[in-house]
Structure 1
Amino acid sequence: MAPLAHTLALLAMTLATVAIDEKQMDMAPNSFDDQYRGCGPDMTTVLPALNHSEFQKNPVFAEAWLKAVAEWQRNGSPVSPLSSSAQAIAVMAYSMKYVYRPFNDAVREAGSSPEEYRDNFHFKTLHFLLTQALVKLREDQNAQCRNVTRGVRDICFMAHHGQRVRFGHFTSTSLSKDVAKRYGTDTVFQVYTCHGVDIQAFSYDRRNREVLIPPYETFEVTKVTRKGTRQRSSSAPQGTTANTTVSGCEVTPQGTAWGMRTPAVAMGPLMAVLRGQALCTGRGWERPLGPLPPCRPRPGHHSPGSGHRDPLSHEATNVTAVTVATVANIITKTP
């Protein structure tokens, strides 16, 4: 099996004539990054009731969904290779301009606590459908890795070599550098992603050549360059990690309840990859909310992001680089 590597390159260009916010990149510890392994069928069962509830609580989502349905139908109502029309509409909704920003803002914080997810995260339906759609598309695309670009306006992202980072939300990128830079050049990410998938067939504007990266993919910065000082550096190999092990979850019309999380021994990312185990390096909550019926991954079936409602929950898998170093470049330009 060919080893896969994750690479990230960042170009931040600060313009003296524009007020640029500076943001430090990190592992997005509050991100809600579940992949619903072991809970997918149960979540699908309660989806109609959950969707109805969220339409009432979240008019932004409701309006965006209706517009996505209309656009999806106008494009011929494609479904294959996705599992349902709902998954296709979810991808369409995300690719339109109406909902992705509030959705991603919520995703970045919904993993901060069980209460935050349960009471304040009213995008449970969209998160579930979009996550399932990306997993299905990745399988159909043979888990292909891609070089993509993301342009950002008015934000200068800061990072240092050797740092592990995540976007922590669903992240739109493009196979075309020119297209990406139309969305901004204050920060330009050049990314080699192995979990991002091509969503062009279901996207609102196929000219964007969009590749969507899920919240759980981890990157390592290996090179830093600043204009003027021309600082450059490189980094060591890095795999993917997870910070909790989930023992169970309960699916209800309100979404998925939080299972007990037991920190595991931090063994190092490469060992975790080789052994097909989750690497747990963070904290977990000490009590479950409600009963915990069986809802676990099948034995030997590890997903690359299946920690239920816990920050940094993305299990190491046998498709992650083991002997090949993660290669990442960050280029920061300042006046």
Structure 2
Amino acid sequence: LNAILSYIQAFLYFTQLKVTAETREELDIAPDAVDDLYDGCNKEALDTFIHSGVLKAELNSSDGFQKVWNPSECSKVIPGGLKEHTAALRAYANEDYNFIKTFDDAVQTKGTNVSTYQDEFHFKSLHFLLMDSMRLLSQKTCKTVYDFAGNIKTAQKGSTVRFGRFNSVHSSFQSLTDEADIDGDEAILNITSCFFVELGENICSTVEMALLSPVEEFTVEDVKQQTKDDTTFTMIVLKHFRVHNMSQPKQQTKSLLQSQTKFLTQK
């Protein structure tokens, strides 16, 4: 029964064709994304966002976040992680459309500067748990995955791009086309990622999906027309370039974490 419910949840989400935060028609570098890797300060971030009350406060302030957050649904704990890591992965992968759109919007637009992140980004705990899960589950291989491009229609061949948000993707082209019919007006992304998380067993699910991050950059290798079942569509081919390391230095990130903790203790 759980397997059937998981499949239905994924089907209902993907039939909405992943219309998320993107209003742009051309894939770009997503310059305003929240793109912290928490490199060198994972422990401080864990203490701040999970053990010092940020997660609880953000759950209390968001009905949508509360709706998707259920640590008791899956008892599996990822290697080196906490039950909160699994809950975060499930919260994103089980995909309540309205909440995920809100979260994706915030991740893609609230990293303009430190003050914007501090004052306007209200999902710091979820962002950290997802990024930390990707660190803990990172693999030494690359994988080609597929996704509908939503509002994105094209990209400049040879350019460097990134999504600037998290992204649930299909493990095969067949899986993608099984979920929804191809619309000739919508592009399809062929993505070779080297920074991803396999969901499935890690979240007590049988659905074959992977999670991509806001920080991975890709080279646009090709933009071409393809035909399937008499439908012609645009295929945007992306190849892994690098994992973007945010511009602000580690010390600034640590200072931000310290100020966040001080702010919470004063409330």
Q: Give the TM-score category using the shorter length.
A: 0.7 to 0.9
Mapped partners of 2:199, 2:239: distance in 1: 32
Mapped partners of 2:240, 2:132: distance in 1: 29
Please list, as runs of the form range in 1=range in 2, the aligned pairs for 1:63-142 lying within 5 A after superposition.
63-65=67-69, 68-72=70-74, 77-98=75-96, 99-138=99-138, 141=139
- CA shift at 1:226, angstroms? 4.5
Secondary structure of 1:106's aligned partner: helix
TM-score (norm 2): 0.73
- CA shift at 1:51, angstroms? 1.2
1:162 maps to 2:168: no
Could you list the runs of 5+ residues in structure 2 that have no partner in the other structure? Answer: 1-22, 228-232
- CA shift at 1:96, angstroms? 1.2
Could you list the runs of 5+ residues in structure 1 that have no partner in the other structure? Answer: 1-20, 258-335
> In the alignment, what sits opposite 1:244?
247
Select the structure of larger CA radius of gyration. Answer: 1
Q: Which structure has more helix as a fraction of its residues? A: 2
Mapped partners of 1:240, 1:80: distance in 2: 22
When residues 125 and 239 of structure 1 are mapped into structure 2, their CA distance, relative to the original with a 3 A threshold, is closer
TM-score (norm 1): 0.59
Please list, as runs of the form range in 1=range in 2, the aligned pairs for 1:22-61 lying within 5 A after superposition.
23-46=25-48, 47-48=50-51, 49-61=53-65
When residues 62 and 256 of structure 1 are mapped into structure 2, their CA distance, relative to the original with a 3 A threshold, is farther
> In the alignment, what sits opposite 1:211?
210
When residues 256 and 212 of structure 1 are mapped into structure 2, their CA distance, relative to the original with a 3 A threshold, is farther
> In the alignment, what sits opposite 2:66?
62
When residues 255 and 202 of structure 1 are mapped into structure 2, their CA distance, relative to the original with a 3 A threshold, is farther
- CA shift at 1:175, angstroms? 1.1
- CA shift at 1:184, angstroms? 6.2
For this pair of structures, how many residues does the alignment match? 226
Displaced runs of 4+ in structure 1, greater than 4 A? 234-243
* RMSD between superposed Cα atoms in Å: 3.3
Secondary structure of 1:191's aligned partner: strand
- CA shift at 1:169, angstroms? 0.5
- CA shift at 1:22, angstroms? 6.4
8 Å CA contact 2:187–2:234 kept in 1: the answer is no
- CA shift at 1:150, angstroms? 1.0
1:149 maps to 2:149: no
Mapped partners of 2:240, 2:170: distance in 1: 25
- Equivalent residue letter for 2:146: T
Mapped partners of 2:132, 2:57: distance in 1: 20
Mapped partners of 2:199, 2:76: distance in 1: 12
- Equivalent residue letter for 1:224: V
Sequence identity percentage: 25
